[in-house]
């Protein structure tokens, strides 16, 4: 597969993408969040279920997202997540950090 393979997400990156997804789509359950990320990344980013739920738990513990029980489209009980005010702030900070980091890495990779 080489270059065309899907990429597993690092913990910090996954947290950032979950926050960003919940900024655009309110009240998604876990599986739908991972689906959105995979869809929007055109299937390059793969959200491993084994890292998704610990990430959601961690973000909820930080107070950046909150969860409520509801019923999914399949009629199952599911936790639906939404971004909190402090989650929005965190998203802004982390987005800036990410942009600085990726620009810096880009510069190093393009060294003459």
Q: Are strands 28-29 and 45-46 parallel, antiparallel or unpaired?
A: unpaired
pLDDT at 67: 96
Q: Indicate the pLDDT class of residue 84, thresholds 50, 70 and 90.
A: very high
pLDDT at 68: 96
| Token reading at 26 | 């309110």
Residues 6+ apart with CB under 8 A from 34: 47, 49, 52
pLDDT at 1: 46
Rounded Cα distance, 34 and 2, in Å: 23
Rounded Cα distance, 34 and 49, in Å: 8
CATH no. for 2-109: 1.10.10.10
- Model confidence pLDDT, tens digit, residues 17-34: 999 999 999 899 999 999
Could you tell me the pTM of the whole model?
0.86
Is there a contact between 19 and 59 (Cβ–Cβ < 8 Å)? yes
pLDDT at 41: 94
| Domain ranges within the chain, ordered by starting residue | 2-109
């Amino acid at each position: 597969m080489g270059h065309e393979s899907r990429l597993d997400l690092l913990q910090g990156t996954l947290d950032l993408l979950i926050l960003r997804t919940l900024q655009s789509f309110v009240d998604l359950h876990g599986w739908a969040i991972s689906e959105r990320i995979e869809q929007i990344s055109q299937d390059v980013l793969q959200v491993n279920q084994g890292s998704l739920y610990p990430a959601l738990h961690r973000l909820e513990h930080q107070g950046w997202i909150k969860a409520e029980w509801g019923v999914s489209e399949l009629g199952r009980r599911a936790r639906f997540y939404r971004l909190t005010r402090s989650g929005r702030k965190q998203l802004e900070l982390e987005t800036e950090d990410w942009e600085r980091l990726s620009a810096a890495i880009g510069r190093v990779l393009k060294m003459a």
